[in-house]
C-alpha cells in the first residue's frame, strides 16, 4: 500500500489538478440529469426536427445502412422468441443466409428496445435510439470530464465536444447507430481513473470493466476492438511518461487484462462465431486504405458540418477519399489554438505529455495506410504495418478520430476551467468553439423518407404471399428497400438478397445480381434470372408500379415467362414453375461462364467491325463501340474509358495491336483461353499480371485481357461469330 503522500503525488500527475477558480460543487445526480436534458434537447434540435413528429414515415440517417439496423431491431427479438439461430438468419440472402457474428448487427440495442419494437415497430425503435445516442454519449463524457475538472460547466463543454463531435455528426447523418453508440468509451476511462485513485476495489474494477467490455462488444465489435487497442497503447504510454505512477499503472494493466479475459470467456460463443465468420484471414472485409483522415481535415470539415457547407470549403472536402459521412479529424481553428495553448503551457507536467503523445498516436493512426492531402494519395504511414494484422485490418482508420475527440474534450474542459479570464470572455470563447462545431442545419441531411408500399403497409401481402415464402424485391439488394419492407411485415417472408455490408460472394457470382446492382444489360437475361430464382427458391418478384425502372423490370419478367399482376401499388410476378424446374440444377459458375463467353465473343466481333470500317484504334472503348451500334444497347452505362463498370474492356495496344477483355473468374477464364488464347499475342489475368499456368491470389471475377494483332483479331472474331446473334 502506497503512503498518503505518494498517493497525492500520483493523483496530481495522473489527474490534472484545479489550480484556481473552483466554485462550489454541484450535486452529482442533479448536474448529470441537467446535462442530459440539455444534450437530449440538442440532439432533437440538430437531428430530429423533421423526425420527431414523423417517427413512422422517416428514418434517421440516409437510405442505405439504416435499413440493416432497423431490420436487426426486428430480427434479434424475433429470433430469440422463436428459438432460431440468431447468428445465422436464412430469411435474408435466402436460402444460404448470412452469419451476423462478423457484421454490425447491434444485438444488445435490439434486445433492449424489444418492448418498443413490439409496440411501435422497428423504425420507431431505431429512430428513438438514434436520437438518444448523441445525448447518452455526451453524458458519459460529461461525467468523465467532471471527474477530471471537478466542475460542472466546463464538463458540460467537454461532454458536448465528444457527444456532438464531427465523428458523431458524420455517422449521425449516415444513421450508423453502431458507431454513434459510443457512450461506453468514456466509461472505460472513468473506471480506470477510479481504480488509479483506489476508489474502487480490484474485484469491483474487474467486474465493472468486464461488464462494460461485454456490453460494448454486443453493441459494436469494431468499437470494442479499437478500445482494446488504444487502451493498451494508453497504458504503455502512461507507464513510460509518468514515472511516479508506474506501480499503479502496472497494477491497472494487469487488472485490465484480467477483465478482458473475463469478458472473452463470457463472450466465448459469440467470439467463436465471429472468428469463424471472419475466416481468420488477413484479408480485410473492406478495402480500408482510402478511409483515412485527410491532412487538411483538421481545419476543413465536410458538408455534415455547418461550416463545411460553405462553397470554398465544400470544394476541398468533396475530394476527401473517405466521403462526408466518415467525418474525420476536424477540430477547427479555435480548438486547435486551445489544444496547442494547453499543451505548451503545461508541458512540464507528465500527464500533459501523456495526453500529447496519445493525441499524436491516434492522429497518426487515423491517417491510415497512406497519407492523403485533398484526396491525393501520397506516401505510406505507420498504420500500414498494423493494417496487415488479421481482424484489425478491417477497421476504418478515419473512425479512430472518436478517441481524438475524447482527448480534446478533456483538454478543453481543463483549459476552460483553469483559464483566468472574465466570464464574458469565457462565454464568448465557448460560443466560438460551438459555432465551429455545429452540424449542418438542413433537416434533410439527417432523415430519409420511407417508401414502404401500401401492399406491405396495409397488410395486403398476407392475401398474396404465404408465410416464409422467398421473394425477390426489385430494385435489388442495396439498390432497393427489401429489408425495410421485410421488417415492416415483421419478417413475414424471406428474400434472396439483402444489405449487410459486403455482398456475399455466392450471390455476386450470379450474373443477374451484378446486372441488378450496376444497372447494365446482360446477354440472355431472362434465362439468367430464371436460373437464379430456381436455385434460390424464389417464388415471387415484387416491385413498385411507380419505380423508375418498372418498365424494364416488367419487360424482363415477361420475357422470362412470369405472370404479372398489379396489386395495390406494386406488381407481383409469379415465375413459370416448369421453367424453374428445368434450371434448378444450374450453378452460378455455369451461368457466369455463359455470360463471359457471350460478352467476349461480342467484344471480338465489335472490335473487328470497328477496325474494318477504318476507325482509329486510339478511340476504341466499350462505350464508343456501343455508341456505334457494335454492341447491344445497355451493355455499357457510362463512358468509363477502356474498362467499363460492367467489366468490359476494349483498348488500343502498342504496335498497332488491340486488347479485348472481360471481368471473369478463373474457371471461365480457362474456357476463354482454351478457345481464343492460341491467337493472342499476350494474355493477362488478373490484369496487369501475365497469365500463369497456376495463378494465385483472389481469382474471383478479376480482369482478363487478351492482346491481338489485326490478323489474329479477325480470325478470333470469325470464330466468335459462330452462333453469335447480330447486335
For cell 414453375, the residue is 577
Q: Which three cell numbers stand for residue 381?
A: 504511414
**In degrees, to the nearest 5, what angle opens at C-alpha 288 toward C-alphas 284 and 290?**
155
533 vs 535: CA distance, rounded Å: 6
Classified as helix, coil or strand, 58 is strand
Give the pLDDT confidence score for residue 8 in this predicted structure: 37
The confidence score (pLDDT) of residue 387 equals 65
CB count in 10 Å sphere of residue 363: 18
pLDDT, tens only, 534-568: 999 999 999 999 999 999 999 999 999 999 999 99
Task: Give residue 392's pLDDT.
Answer: 64
Helices (H), 367-504: 383-386, 401-418, 423-437, 454-457, 482-488
Which domains are seen in the chain, by residue range? Answer: 4-443 (no CATH), 454-582 (no CATH), 592-720 (3.30.450)
Phi, psi of 178 (to 5 degrees): -65, -20
Radius of gyration of the chain (CA): 29
- Distance, CA of 534 to CA of 586 (rounded, Å): 8
Sequence-distant (6+) residues with CB within 8 A of 111 are 76, 77, 80
For the chain, the distance separating the N- and C-terminal CA atoms, rounded to the nearest angstrom, is: 87
| Partner residues linked to 271 by β-bridges | none
According to the model, what pLDDT value does residue 281 have? Answer: 45
Q: What is the pLDDT of residue 726?
A: 43
Instruction: List, for residues 32-71, the tens digit of each pLDDT value.
Output: 999 999 999 999 999 999 999 999 999 999 988 999 999 9
* pLDDT reported for residue 17: 34
Q: What is the model's pLDDT at position 681?
A: 96
| Distance, CA of 284 to CA of 39 (rounded, Å) | 36
Residue 666's contacts (CB-CB under 8 Å, 6 or more residues apart) are: 685, 695, 699, 702
* Whether 477 contacts 503, CB under 8 Å: yes
- Which residues of the chain register pLDDT less than 50? 1-26, 281-286, 726-727
Cell of 343: 499543451
Place of cell 413459370: 576
Amino acid at each position: 500500500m502506497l503512503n498518503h503522500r505518494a498517493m497525492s503525488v500520483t493523483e496530481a500527475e495522473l489527474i490534472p489538478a484545479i489550480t484556481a477558480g473552483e466554485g462550489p460543487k454541484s450535486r452529482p445526480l442533479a448536474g448529470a440529469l441537467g446535462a442530459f436534458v440539455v444534450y437530449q434537447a440538442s440532439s432533437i434540435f440538430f437531428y430530429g426536427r423533421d423526425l420527431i413528429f414523423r417517427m413512422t414515415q422517416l428514418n434517421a440517417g440516409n437510405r442505405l445502412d439504416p435499413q440493416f439496423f432497423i431490420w436487426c431491431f426486428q430480427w434479434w427479438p424475433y429470433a430469440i422468441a422463436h428459438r432460431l439461430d440468431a447468428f445465422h438468419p436464412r430469411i435474408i440472402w435466402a436460402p444460404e443466409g448470412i452469419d451476423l457474428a462478423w457484421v454490425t448487427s447491434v444485438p444488445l440495442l435490439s434486445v433492449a428496445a424489444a418492448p418498443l419494437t413490439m409496440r411501435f415497430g422497428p423504425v420507431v425503435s431505431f429512430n428513438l435510439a438514434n436520437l438518444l445516442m448523441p445525448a447518452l454519449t455526451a453524458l458519459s463524457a460529461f461525467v468523465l470530464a467532471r471527474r477530471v475538472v471537478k466542475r460542472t460547466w466546463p464538463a458540460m463543454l467537454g461532454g458536448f465536444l465528444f457527444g456532438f463531435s464531427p465523428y458523431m455528426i458524420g455517422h449521425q447523418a449516415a444513421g450508423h447507430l453502431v458507431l454513434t453508440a459510443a457512450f461506453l468509451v468514456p466509461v472505460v476511462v472513468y473506471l480506470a481513473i477510479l481504480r488509479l485513485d483506489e476508489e474502487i476495489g480490484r474485484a469491483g474494477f474487474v467486474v465493472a470493466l468486464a461488464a462494460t467490455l461485454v456490453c460494448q462488444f454486443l453493441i459494436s465489435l469494431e468499437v470494442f476492438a479499437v478500445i482494446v487497442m488504444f487502451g493498451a497503447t494508453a497504458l504503455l504510454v502512461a507507464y513510460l511518461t509518468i514515472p511516479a505512477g508506474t506501480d499503479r499503472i502496472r497494477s491497472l494493466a494487469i487488472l485490465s487484462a484480467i477483465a478482458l479475459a473475463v469478458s472473452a470467456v463470457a463472450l466465448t460463443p459469440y467470439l467463436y462465431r465471429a472468428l469463424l465468420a471472419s475466416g481468420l484471414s488477413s484479408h480485410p472485409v473492406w478495402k480500408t486504405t482510402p478511409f483515412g483522415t485527410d491532412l487538411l481535415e483538421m481545419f476543413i470539415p465536410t458538408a455534415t458540418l455547418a461550416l463545411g457547407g460553405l462553397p470554398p470549403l465544400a470544394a476541398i472536402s468533396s475530394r476527401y477519399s473517405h466521403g462526408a459521412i466518415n467525418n474525420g479529424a476536424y477540430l477547427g481553428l479555435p480548438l486547435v489554438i486551445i489544444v496547442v495553448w494547453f499543451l505548451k503551457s503545461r508541458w512540464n507536467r507528465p500527464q500533459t505529455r501523456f495526453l500529447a503523445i496519445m493525441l499524436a498516436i491516434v492522429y497518426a493512426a487515423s491517417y491510415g495506410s497512406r497519407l492523403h492531402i485533398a484526396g491525393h494519395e501520397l506516401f505510406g504511414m505507420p498504420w500500414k504495418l498494423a493494417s496487415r494484422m488479421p481482424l484489425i485490418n478491417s477497421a476504418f482508420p478515419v473512425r479512430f478520430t472518436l478517441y481524438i475527440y475524447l482527448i480534446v474534450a478533456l483538454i478543453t474542459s481543463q483549459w476552460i476551467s483553469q483559464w483566468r479570464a472574465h466570464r464574458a470572455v469565457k462565454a464568448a470563447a465557448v460560443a466560438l468553439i460551438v459555432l465551429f462545431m455545429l452540424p449542418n442545419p438542413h433537416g434533410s441531411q439527417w432523415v430519409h423518407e420511407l417508401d414502404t408500399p401500401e401492399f406491405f403497409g396495409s397488410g395486403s401481402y398476407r392475401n398474396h404471399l404465404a408465410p416464409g415464402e422467398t421473394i425477390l424485391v426489385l430494385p435489388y439488394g442495396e439498390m432497393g428497400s427489401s429489408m425495410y419492407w421485410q421488417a415492416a411485415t415483421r419478417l413475414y417472408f424471406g428474400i434472396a438478397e439483402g444489405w449487410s455490408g459486403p455482398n456475399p460472394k455466392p450471390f455476386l457470382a450470379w450474373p443477374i445480381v451484378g446486372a441488378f446492382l450496376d444497372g447494365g444489360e446482360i446477354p440472355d437475361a431472362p434465362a439468367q434470372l430464371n436460373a437464379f430464382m430456381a436455385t434460390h427458391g424464389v417464388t415471387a418478384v415484387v416491385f413498385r408500379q411507380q419505380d423508375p425502372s418498372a418498365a424494364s423490370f416488367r419487360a424482363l419478367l415477361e420475357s422470362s415467362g412470369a405472370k404479372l399482376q398489379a396489386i395495390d401499388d406494386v406488381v407481383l410476378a409469379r415465375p413459370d414453375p416448369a421453367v424453374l424446374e428445368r434450371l434448378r440444377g444450374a450453378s452460378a459458375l455455369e451461368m457466369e461462364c455463359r455470360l463471359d463467353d457471350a460478352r467476349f465473343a461480342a467484344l471480338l466481333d465489335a472490335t473487328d467491325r470497328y477496325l474494318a470500317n477504318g476507325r482509329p484504334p486510339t478511340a476504341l472503348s466499350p462505350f464508343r463501340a456501343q455508341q456505334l451500334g457494335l454492341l447491344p444497347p445497355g451493355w455499357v452505362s457510362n463512358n468509363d474509358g477502356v474498362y467499363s463498370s460492367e467489366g468490359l474492356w476494349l483498348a488500343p495496344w502498342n504496335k498497332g495491336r488491340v486488347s479485348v477483355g472481360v471481368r471473369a473468374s478463373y474457371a471461365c477464364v480457362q474456357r476463354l483461353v482454351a478457345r481464343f488464347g492460341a491467337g493472342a499475342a499476350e494474355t493477362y489475368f488478373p490484369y496487369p499480371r501475365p497469365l500463369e499456368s497456376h495463378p494465385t491470389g483472389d481469382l474471383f471475377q478479376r480482369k482478363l485481357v487478351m492482346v491481338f494483332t489485326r490478323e489474329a483479331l479477325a480470325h478470333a472474331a470469325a470464330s466468335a461469330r459462330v452462333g453469335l446473334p447480330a447486335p
